[in-house]
Each structure stands twice: as structure tokens, then as C-alpha cells.
Structure 1
Amino acid sequence: MHILITGGNRGIGLGLAAHYRAAGHAVTATSRDGATGVALDVADAGSVRAMAGQIAEPVDLLVCNAGVFHDRDEALAGGYGADMWAETFAANVTGVFLCVQALLPNLRAADGAKVAIISSQMGSSTKAPGNALIYRASKAAALNLGINLSAALRPEGIAVGIYHPGWVRTDMGGDAAAIAVAESVAGLSARFAALDLATTGCFENWDGRPHAI
């Protein structure tokens, strides 16, 4: 398989890239600075087009993993600036759409292609404690986008799944997080393997449990 992973330079993306390479698959991992081999800023439409222009072969699995989390310490009174909203949604929502759109020819060229969108339990309406408002809203939007993309792409034989990767010990998750990158990667890769047209549009935890929307 050929697997393309956005945000493949650290954390879960780096772990997934290593996992699939060890299994003998061809992996294209992107990063903003191009250190992974392919430069991509998912929030920049020109960068997304340039990335897609470098990918000639079919893409069997597109993992939309790149994202940002800027508002964990914002206060409701005076915080959550408009620029933070714009930057977060550009990366976490628009970036997902732009990558899927730009790589449609590559997905269509594969036999039974899949799109995996890394959202978060923080995007679920059942997880709403009243903090990190921008990140939560962006992940809810990514979840909704994924469900709609699953309906749009189903007639073309392309399955779309949306996933909560767990609370993972990464730069974003922090040292106090519940699981290691390796555990998340093992679970996510199993979820991606199980994804098909019968389960397209699913929102699942890394360990296979369905997650409430």
C-alpha cells in the first residue's frame, strides 16, 4: 500500500509512518519544513496543491493527522482571539478538506482507497466542560466534515473514518497523558485496516470502541 500521512514528523504521525514502513508499505509523510521529505502546510492552499503535484502514484490510505492546539490556557473573558480561531480552523478543518480534495485523483486511482481523519473526543458533544473552545469546535467540525465526506465519497468506493487517537503522551497530549504513542498507533492502524464501505462514516476510539458524536 501507499500511505500518505500529514503531520508525519512527530507524535502520532511519526509513529504511524514508522509502523507502516516497518510493515513494508510505501509511506509519504509530510511536515511543514519538509524534513520528512515532502513539505506541506495544510492551512495553505498553495502548499497543498504543491504537495499533491509531487504525488504521482495512487494513495491507498490518506491519514489526515496534522493539526494545532493553541487555546488550552485561554480565558473566556479577553481570550480566544479571532486570529486563533482562524488559524486553528484553517489547520484542523480546512486543511483536512484541502488535502482530500487535492488528492482525489490519487485516491480514485487506488482500489478501495481510505481516508482516516484524526479528530478527538474533545469534538464530541458529550465532552463539553467549557474549556479549549476553539480546539473543541474545530474537532467537532472535522468530525462533521468526515461524516459528510463519507457520504460524498461512498459512491466512488472510498471509505472515510474519523478517530479519537486516545490521550497520548506527545507534545500536544503532554507527559501526563494516558497512553504511549505505540499503543495509539497499534490501535489506530487496526481501525484503519478494518475500515470499509460498511463502516464508512464511523467515529471510533483508537481501541475500536464507537464514540458518541
Structure 2
Amino acid sequence: MGTYLITGIGRGIGQELARVLLLRGDRVIGTVRDPDGASAEWDGFIKNGQLKLLSLDVRDGGSIKEAAKRLDEPLHVLINNAGIIGPDRQSTLDMDFDGFLDTLNVNTLGPLRTVQAFLPHLRRARAAKIVTISSRMGSISYAKSDRIAYRASKSAVNKVMQGLATDLREDGIIAISVHPGWVRTDMGGSGADVSVQDSADGIIKLIDGITPGNSGGFFDWQGKPVSF
């Protein structure tokens, strides 16, 4: 059993990842922007000490550092899950530039801020793992132009994870990006082809099995390599 920090457990994939890990007996540190609004389903896990909620906004470096100060234990796995789809207007021919910047701030810089703040906790664990929920939509080889702010932010965070894998190799810390599939969540919509339960189960199986040789890689929720 290990200790997992998951950003954005208020809904969607983050919520399901937390649920699966808690039910199998792991300890979860879950971040939300407003702990007072957290789901009542977490109450029992909080009372027995298996779940700890931290207030954290990945846009705000100060809030991330404050959250890190409130934690004094090793982290075996950090899952960067919090993310946004971006603005309504995000075409190369009609761009909401402020929205584009916000998308990069959340989806690309947010994971890096989080890793840097919690790196001391990761270093205290043996063979820690950093897992960032990305998207195949960010693959350079996938030449689509819709949702270009979202695509660009995921392409950029893949490169950031690759860089972290290189820089943290001496520490024995693994870093990978994961495509969760097109998942039936608020972001993915009801027409998506993967259930949130299947996606979460697959991601956790992938995390359990990754080795230093996988570090820097990009995988889908079923463990298959994805082209950058």
C-alpha cells in the first residue's frame, strides 16, 4: 500500500482514481479548491485517517506551497489530474488569448508547480512516481486543429514530464504522461467511449506496473505507448 497525492478529486477521473485507491486500502491525499464543498462520500475515509483533503489551486503557486507545508509524510505517487478543456474560442483563426494562457497555466504549469512543491515528499519515498493525466490530442503526430489551446497545453506538459524524467533519474523518481481515453465525464461528455471506472482502473494498473525503464514515456490507460 502507498500514499498517493491526486490533484482535482472533486469530480471525473480524479474522483474515481481516489475512490478506487481508497477502496483497495491505499492512503490518498486529495486536493480540491474548496474542501468545504467536498463530497459527503469522503467523510468516512477522512474520519479513519485514510483520506486527507488539501485546499489547492494549480493556478496559484502560493496555494500549492501552503498545501505542501501541511503535509509531512512521504509520497509514493503524485497524480497530476486537475485540468481544464480551455476557452470556447480556441481556433488558430479565432483565439481567446486570455483563455489560451489560462489553459497553459492550469494544464502545463500547474503540474510543474505541483511537482516542484511536493518534490521533498517524493524524495522521501522509495522509487516514487509522477503521473500526469495528458491526452492523445496533444500528440504532435495527431494533426487536428480543434481545441488547439487544449492540444498545445497537453503537448507542452508531455515535454515537461519528459524533462522531469531526465532530471529526476538520479533520484530514482519515475515521470510519465497518460492518455486516459475519451472518458464519459463532464469534460469528455456522455458520448465518450470509455467509462470513468474503466479508465481509472487502467491508469492504476499502469501506475502499479511502471518501472524506471518506462520513465519519460507517454502511455494510454491500457498501458500501450502513445506517440508524442
Q: Does 1:51 align with 2:67?
A: yes
- Equivalent position of 1:184 in the other structure: 199
| 1:165 to 2:180 alignment | yes
1:145 Cα deviation (Å)? 0.5
The one-letter code matched in structure 1 to 2:121 is: N
Distance 2:14 2:143 in 1: 26
Moved over 4 A (4+): none
How much does 1:154 deviate?
A: 0.8
Equivalent of 2:86, from 55, 67, 70?
A: 70
Q: Contact between 1:72 and 1:131, CA under 8 Å: does it hold in 2?
A: no
Mind listing any 5+ residue stretches in structure 2 that lack a counterpart?
Answer: 39-52
Q: Equivalent residue for 1:22?
A: 23
Map of 1:148 onto structure 2: 163
**Deviation per residue, 1:146-189 (Å, 9 max, x gap):** 01100001110001111000000000000000010000011100
Cα displacement (A) at 1:76: 4.0
1:187-208, Cα deviation, whole Å (9 max, x unpaired): 1001111112111111001011
Q: How far did residue 49 of structure 1 move?
A: 0.6
1:204 match: secondary structure: strand
Identity %: 38
With structure 2 as the length reference, what TM-score do the two structures score? 0.90
| Structure 1: gaps (5+ residues) | none
Could you say what secondary structure the match of 2:30 adopts? strand
How far does residue 128 in structure 1 lie from its aligned partner after superposition?
2.2
Say if 1:150 and 1:200, in contact at 8 Å, map to a contact too.
yes
In 2, are the aligned partners of 1:114 and 1:196 still within 8 Å (CA)?
Answer: no
The question of whether the paired residues in 2 share the 8 Å contact of 1:71 and 1:133 is answered with: no
Deviation for aligned residue 1:82 = 1.8
Retained in 1: the 8 A contact 2:32–2:55?
yes
Deviations 1:61-100 (A, max 9, x none): 00001011123554444x3222111111110011110000
Q: Which residue of 2 aligns with 1:128?
A: 143
Q: Write out per-residue CA displacement over residues 18-57 of structure 1, whole angstroms, 9 at most, x where no aligned residue.
A: 0000010110111111244211100111111111111111
Between Structure 1 and Structure 2, how many residues are aligned? 212
Distance 1:122 1:51 in 2: 31
Provide the alpha-carbon RMSD of the alignment.
1.2
Q: Which amino acid aligns with 2:68?
A: A
**1:87–1:73 CA distance, 2 compared to 1 (3 A):** closer
The answer to whether the aligner puts 1:32 opposite 2:38 as a matched pair is no
Among candidates 54, 58, 63, match of residue 42 of structure 1? 58
Q: 1:196 aligns with which of 211, 221, 228?
A: 211
Aligned partner of 1:9 in structure 2 is: 10
Higher mean alpha-carbon deviation, 195-204 vs 113-122, is at 195-204
